Structure 1
Amino acid sequence: MRTAEVRAIDQIAMMSPLVNIILYTGLTAVLLLGAQLVNVGMLQTGTILAFLSYFILITNSLLGLNRMFNIYNRAVASIERIREVLTMPIDENQIIPEDASSVGESDSSVPEIEFKNVSFSYLGVKNDLENISFVLYPGETLGIMGPTGSGKSTLIRLLLRQYDVQEGEILIRGRDIRTIKPEALSNLFGIVFQNDFLFGGTVRKNVDFGRGLSDELIGEATEHAQASTFLAEKEGGLDFALASKGVNLSGGEKQRLLLSRALAGDPEILILDDASSALDFRTDAKLRRALRDHYSATTSIIIAQRVSSIRHADQIIFMENGKISAMGDHDTVMRESQKYREIAKMQMGEWHDDAEAIA
């Protein structure tokens, strides 16, 4: 794919300047030579102007042909990329077995999510995740923290089966996720990624997301996600019209609507990947309280950069270089991880400022 794209870019980069050089060199030559001939009386000014008019017509036509050539090159490159995708060999690991089934009901005695010695590499050279193991029971919350590139989002993508593990296994309710029907697996999750999208339309349609949810469910979700406060100030409330990508909202308002969308489906497993980074500490604290009060039966995985967002989690994982460097509750990770402890101390002042809201 990369080869076709580079070849197209090279051809465009070569042809466009070449055509422009030829055309504008010709135009300059006509002006200089014409001025000299008019000066010695061999040509009239009108003849030069007429010639320039014809030359400009020809120039515009050639520029149009150049644009068509550029479009053609891009199209050829796109066709080659599509062909490579269509002819790509099937990954046997991605084949759904004939006996694939649903996940069954949640059982408090069976782990809701279990990672067993999971390792994974995108390029097959160096492990991006290495020997990841943890157990999460129904209704528990797992907090994940770590520097950029430590493998936090990769862990989530493996859980969603966007990629398959290369070593170890991931179990949901005791079943390997590779033996679960894709639709049954996806129906378990409510997910908010940091860069999720909002489309042009009403708030109601964005939260509903084509699921045919009632106004009552949508209203409850926006209230629990702390979106009802700012929606009350918007003209139309749930019928307030969003611009494409939600550009007429602030970052925090966008995140609250995305949280509303996830909560409206009453998911059995809630995944928040840095989904409250744009919220102020007090709003974030109110959100976490609402999650504890109204979604206590929901199993949650929260990736965050704020210690305050995960400090009340049943388990906290601190990741570095694709590995778990510390795991346990807040106090345990404070003892075991120096980096987590440093982050916590830097944010401690903000915790005290909002201690009453966070409690």
Structure 2
Amino acid sequence: PYQIEFRNVTFSYHKKQENLTDISFALRRGETLGIIGPTGSGKTTILNLLLRFYDADAGEILLCGKPISTIPEELLHTMFGVTFQNDFLYAGSITENIDFGRALPQERIEYAARAAQAEFIAARDGGFDALLTSRGSNLSGGQKQRLLIARALAADPEILLLDDSSSALDYKTDALLRQALAREYANTTTVIVAQRISSIAQADRILVLEDGRIAGYGTHETLLQSCPSYREIYDIQMGGDVS
């Protein structure tokens, strides 16, 4: 069965205007879905429904063939590694920030940090024992994002959700991150919400959202041919070049 399946899912936060309308897609274990679209198009809402922060108003969400509502919450949350845009780091060591109270082995923490391209840790006094200030204010935006991705990876989740989590990374680091995820976490099913096409061009499938509806669904190559809004984003961002 598919590991993640949305079947004709419709949802509204305030039960007035629909935030998602008739959304369907399916992912097998180890596949990657990219989600792209304008602000307010419903990208993060899909992640919120996967984590059951909210329940769909219509349609079905299945994990490994089971309705998501039948999976106990504590089990559900162990399946996911998540990085949201507004996640924060706290005053404490780098290890503590990646571990996040889970008592993970140090080698898992360091493995996740390597995959997340957080090589800057080695250059800091104290390395993984180096102290961060509240909200990680003594780090750059890109360094913060890499630590949060390491946090999401460290427990070796079945499903990885990245919500615009590499927007502060330069293109080269973002590419290295994608390569490391494909290599080191090949069995992890990944959903990437992105603003940059380069972050999702290699995904197995890409979902293009507009006003909570599917404007396109397919591979990067097929969407360039079949989805005008995707082609428009591509032309604006890449000027005709995707690495």
Task: Tell me whether 1:192 sits opposite 2:192 in the alignment.
Answer: no
Matching residue's letter, 1:330: H
Partner residue, 2:32: 141
Task: Tell me the alpha carbon deviations over residues 247-268 of structure 1, each in whole angstroms, 9 at most, x when there is no partner.
Answer: 1100000000000101111000
Task: Tell me whether 1:203 sits opposite 2:73 in the alignment.
Answer: no
Partner residue, 1:320: 210
Q: Does the CA-based 8 Å contact 1:317-1:326 persist in structure 2?
A: yes
Matching residue's letter, 1:218: I
Q: TM-score, normalised by structure 2?
A: 0.98
Name the CA distance, whole Å, in 2 between partners of 1:309 and 1:196.
20
Task: Tell me whether 1:236 sits opposite 2:126 in the alignment.
Answer: yes
Q: Does the CA-based 8 Å contact 1:308-1:351 persist in structure 2?
A: no
Higher strand share: 2
SS of residue matched to 2:182 = helix
For residues 123-142 of structure 1, the aligned pairs below 5 Å read 123-142=14-33
Name the CA distance, whole Å, in 2 between partners of 1:220 and 1:123.
42
Higher helix share: 1
Name the CA distance, whole Å, in 2 between partners of 1:126 and 1:346.
30
Unaligned runs of 5+ in 2: none
Q: TM-score, normalised by structure 1?
A: 0.66
**Match of residue 9, structure 2, among 113, 118, 122:** 118
Matching residue's letter, 2:19: D
Task: Tell me whether 1:309 sits opposite 2:199 in the alignment.
Answer: yes
Structure showing greater radius of gyration is 1
TM-align CA RMSD: 1.1
Name the CA distance, whole Å, in 2 between partners of 1:256 and 1:295.
16
Task: Tell me the alpha carbon deviations over residues 242-287 of structure 1, each in whole angstroms, 9 at most, x when there is no partner.
Answer: 0000011000000000001011110000000000000000000000
For residues 149-188 of structure 1, the aligned pairs below 5 Å read 149-188=40-79
Q: Does the CA-based 8 Å contact 1:200-1:242 persist in structure 2?
A: yes
Q: Does the CA-based 8 Å contact 2:141-2:168 persist in structure 1?
A: yes
Partner residue, 2:138: 248
SS of residue matched to 1:168 = strand
Matching residue's letter, 1:253: Q
| Pairs aligned (count) | 243
Matching residue's letter, 2:235: K
Q: Does the CA-based 8 Å contact 2:215-2:229 persist in structure 1?
A: no
The Cα of 1:347 is off from its aligned counterpart by: 2.5
For residues 89-108 of structure 1, the aligned pairs below 5 Å read none
Q: Does the CA-based 8 Å contact 2:32-2:203 persist in structure 1?
A: yes
Task: Tell me whether 1:276 sits opposite 2:166 in the alignment.
Answer: yes
SS of residue matched to 2:49 = helix
SS of residue matched to 1:163 = coil
Unaligned runs of 5+ in 1: 1-109
SS of residue matched to 1:155 = helix
Partner residue, 1:77: none
The Cα of 1:345 is off from its aligned counterpart by: 1.8
**Match of residue 110, structure 2, among 219, 227, 230:** 219
Q: Does the CA-based 8 Å contact 2:82-2:160 persist in structure 1?
A: yes
By relative contact order (CA 8 Å, sep 6+), the higher-ranking structure is: 2
Partner residue, 2:231: 341
The Cα of 1:318 is off from its aligned counterpart by: 0.3
Task: Tell me the alpha carbon deviations over residues 47-93 of structure 1, each in whole angstroms, 9 at most, x when there is no partner.
Answer: xxxxxxxxxxxxxxxxxxxxxxxxxxxxxxxxxxxxxxxxxxxxxxx
Name the CA distance, whole Å, in 2 between partners of 1:137 and 1:214.
29
Q: Does the CA-based 8 Å contact 2:234-2:240 persist in structure 1?
A: no
Task: Tell me the alpha carbon deviations over residues 201-256 of structure 1, each in whole angstroms, 9 at most, x when there is no partner.
Answer: 000000011111111111111111000x2112111010110000001100000000
